[in-house]
Chain A
Amino acid sequence: MSVLAAEMPVPEPMAPVPWRILEVRREVADGEVFTWRLRPESGEAPMARPGQFNMLYLFGVGEVAISVSAMDGDGSLVHTIRAVGSVTRTMQGLRAGDVVGVRGPFGSAWPVAAAEGRDLVLAAGGIGLAPLRPVIHAVLARREAFGRVLICYGARSPRDLIFRDELAQWQARQDLDVRVTVDRGTADWKGDVGVVTQLIDRGGFDGRNALAMVCGPEVMMRFSALSLHRRGVAPERTFVSMERSMRCALGFCGHCQIGPHFVCRDGPVFPYPVMEPAFRVNEL
């Protein structure tokens, strides 16, 4: 079972196209994580698949790879960004109406179709929920095609949870099992405390028939995969999304290379057995 590689080559893949920010939404109180809805200055956003990413270019500052966090089919695309470096911190100051450069979409996609007829486990850590959100949207659009759907989401603290309104909507549904945990609770937090792997350990899915998609910090993905495999999910039906410093997004420059794999071209979504050896290499 392989991930879905990009089928549509991007015309002029090295040339950023001007896109306008239609809407900015703060995901956390201090605005460190924010969501942009964007649309090309001319025409509509190209089709993206869940898991793919765009290169967002802030003219004169730099370029970063950011996963698509929603595609509503209205000609716009949504990206959720965490401000941690010089480019993303500058992006934090942009407002609706500002223009950025966009290249993409690039990379492989989550194998949503392969999960049809199976139980589906989505394990997200921190901002790792963003690349999985389009999967949740796709599943909800054809909910009857999937078995049990379990969403396990872990964050550092309650104030770091993103997509809060949507999380509440998902939690209210009878046909989704949404489990949220934080590493450190607060006085007003009534939910679970502990790491995201514990949510997987609680089961509630048929491991032998399940497909899992995991996205978050690498150590979280490694331990989540162990928990999933303990619960009977086959390694080849476990998929992870890797984050590396991407520059060209086309597999030319080698900045995102992990062994023989270019994360930008062959990933970011990989079957777990492909990435598992890399998880065992120090400082890779």
Chain B
Amino acid sequence: MNELLAILRDQAFFEGLREEHLRLVAADAALRTFRTDETLFREHEEARAFYLVRTGRVALESRLPGRRSEIFMTLGQGEVLGWSWLMPPYRWHYSARALEETHTVHFDALALHACMDKDPVLGYALYQRFAALIVQRLQAARLQAMDIYGGGDVGLGG
């Protein structure tokens, strides 16, 4: 518990969270390690967790019929993975796979849901953080979809 608390205190995602809330979050968290190519979760499965990547890299990928899975994003140190546990249908929309040995903190979503229901201040604080994360990822996805490198830049760089 103390080790987990120390880890969480160092993470930008939890910055500003009250100490008692940090303890609640840490209470049902656990350290988990994934080997190279090991799956963290698969699309369509029930979403019962989220992860904080401590070291290593994780690929988010989607299965395409008749083709290999396509990686559309990789996440690394200090990044939070997974928000499907926050809202119905509570199922993963994509799969996550470790690209190298990856050390994570695993957060039990069911336990956290119960804490958030009991303590709306904690719920609000976590929703704020996830909302910011979702906006950031949405902006990144939009930028990715724009194909920004396909323009007419010749070599002046801009």
Contacts and interface: CB of A to CB of B under 8 A. Distances in A.
Contacts of A82: 153-155
B7 to A, nearest CB: 16
Contact of B143 (A65, A197, A244): A197
A242 B158 CA distance: 5
A219 B153 contact: no
A243 interface: yes
Given A82-B153, A202-B79, A183 B144 contact: yes
A117 B107 CA distance: 40
B4 interface: no
Contacts of B155: 64, 66-67, 69, 79-82, 88, 127, 130
A105 interface: no
Interface stretch (A13-21, A95-103, A188-196): A188-196
Interface in B138-158: 139-140, 143-144, 146-158
Given A156-B149, A203-B12, A268 B143 contact: no
A84 interface: yes
Interface stretch (A4-12, A140-148, A163-171, A210-218): A210-218
A190 B77 CA distance: 16
B71 interface: yes
B59 interface: yes
B154 A219 contact: no
Given A125-B148, A190-B99, A217-B148, A66 B143 contact: no
Contacts of A124: 157
A156 B153 CA distance: 13
Nearest to B157: A131
Contact of B151 (A79, A217, A241): A217
Given A185-B71, A187-B68, A128 B140 contact: no
B123 interface: no
A206 interface: no
A160 interface: yes
Give the interface size bracket for A toward B. 35 or more
Given A125-B148, A183-B149, A217-B148, A194 B140 contact: yes
Contact of A53 (B70, B153, B156): B156
A206 to B, nearest CB: 14
A202 B77 CA distance: 7
Nearest to A194: B73
Give the interface size bracket for B toward A. 20 to 34
Interface in A42-89: 53, 64-67, 69, 79-85, 88
A223 B149 contact: no
A126 interface: yes
B158 A193 contact: no
B57 interface: yes
Nearest to A222: B143
A198 interface: yes
B136 interface: yes
Contacts of B147: 156, 183
B33 interface: no
Nearest to A154: B149
A194 B75 CA distance: 9
A10 B89 CA distance: 66
Contacts of A156: 147, 149-150
A95 B143 CA distance: 37
B70 to A, nearest CB: 8
A156 B145 CA distance: 11
B148 A219 contact: yes
A201 B140 CA distance: 11
A189 to B, nearest CB: 8
Contacts of A190: 99
Given A127-B157, A130-B155, A242-B156, 13 more contacts: A66-B155, A126-B148, A156-B149, A156-B150, A185-B71, A191-B74, A192-B74, A195-B143, A197-B140, A197-B143, A202-B78, A218-B158, A221-B158
5 contacts: A67-B157, A80-B155, A124-B157, A193-B59, A194-B74
5 cross-chain pairs, A with B, having the tightest CB-CB distances, nearest first:
A243-B158, A131-B157, A126-B149, A156-B149, A243-B156
